[in-house]
Homo-oligomer: A and B are copies of this chain.
Amino acid sequence: MTDFSAWTQACQAQTETTLAECLPLSSITPQRLHEAMRYAVLGGGKRVRPLLAFAAGEVTGADVNRVQHAAAAVELIHAYSLVHDDMPAMDNDALRRGKPTVHVEFDEATALLVGDALQSLAFDILTAQPLSDDPATQLNMVQLLALAAGSRGMAGGQAIDLASVGKPLDLPELEFMHIHKTGALIRASVLLGAQCGTVDAATTTALDHYAKCIGLAFQVVDDILDAEAPTATLGKTAGKDAADNKPTYVSLLGVAQARELAQELRADAHKALAHLGTPAERLRQLADFVVERSF
């Protein structure tokens, strides 16, 4: 088994290549829109969701040529959500991945259309070629992504997030928000990667539980980093949650207890994978990575 860092670099490079191929060239009309779509998606990001898809695909013996398209589709949904989230009507953020956000570099109308078109492109990619031996399974995969992205998934989580600004949420309410806002798409990454291969009900249940733990851990660590890391390391504006008076794991628990929670979630994620043996090793390494990352 290659070293984790080499593996992540290979997956990230593969994701970049797939995304660059799937995104329309900026020479195609409407050029400015396509240029902005490529600007929003390419050349940055940790690609956590694609990494999870690739790692889950290893559990089910999935063909990497299939997984890369599932991974790209999920990443496009994530990228669109960042573009819309950064807009003045939402978080009004000027910096993302160390670059000006799309509405700053281009304009608001273009940012709106970039997000819209990236979402459509995700569903295009997920249906453009066989990702499963069974087309009916692939239809279920498309629905899984649609539900994860929609009002009972990511978009719903953002609505709950918006409604919670300045309100005293308790821990279950904060968890409920994050299960939607980031958890739904992380779950989709894991399950779609797995469904590119052959997956039984017990494995699905294990992966589902793993994804829930990792999704929450990701958010807890995000909150810790937002409170502690400098803007230069994050590539986005640090300290923004506190400035916006947003409830976070740090504001509710303090940094020390938030760190403990992240470690508990990591342990639970490992436990969920206990019966999946060596093929789940990358998922274990990703659980560690998500908790230990510093950016």
**A13: interface (CB < 8 Å):** no
**A110: interface (CB < 8 Å):** yes
CB proximity to B under 8 Å, residues A172-225 = 176
Are A151 and B117 in touch, CB under 8 angstroms? Answer: yes
Complex Cα spacing A248 to B188, Å: 43
Are B127 and A109 in touch, CB under 8 angstroms? Answer: no
Interface of A is mostly: helix
Are B124 and A156 in touch, CB under 8 angstroms? Answer: no
Are B163 and A32 in touch, CB under 8 angstroms? Answer: yes
Q: How many residues of A contact B (CB 8 A)?
A: 55
**A48: interface (CB < 8 Å):** no
Q: Out of B33, B138, B147, which one reaches A151, CB within 8 Å? A: B33
- Chain B residues with CB under 8 A of A24: 151-152
A156 nearest CB neighbor, chain B only: B30
- Chain B residues with CB under 8 A of A142: 123, 127, 139, 142
Given A124-B147, A142-B142, A162-B109, check contact A156 B29 (CB 8 Å).
yes
Given A29-B160, A135-B136, A136-B135, check contact A155 B113 (CB 8 Å).
yes
Contacts A30-B160, A116-B149, A121-B146 known; 13 new A-B pairs at CB < 8 A: A30-B151, A33-B151, A33-B156, A87-B89, A90-B109, A110-B159, A113-B151, A113-B162, A120-B147, A120-B155, A127-B140, A135-B135, A135-B136
Interface residues of A (CB under 8 A from B): 24, 28-30, 32-34, 37, 80-81, 84, 87, 89-90, 107-113, 115-117, 119-121, 123-124, 127-128, 134-136, 138-140, 142-143, 145-147, 149-153, 155-156, 158-160, 162-163, 176
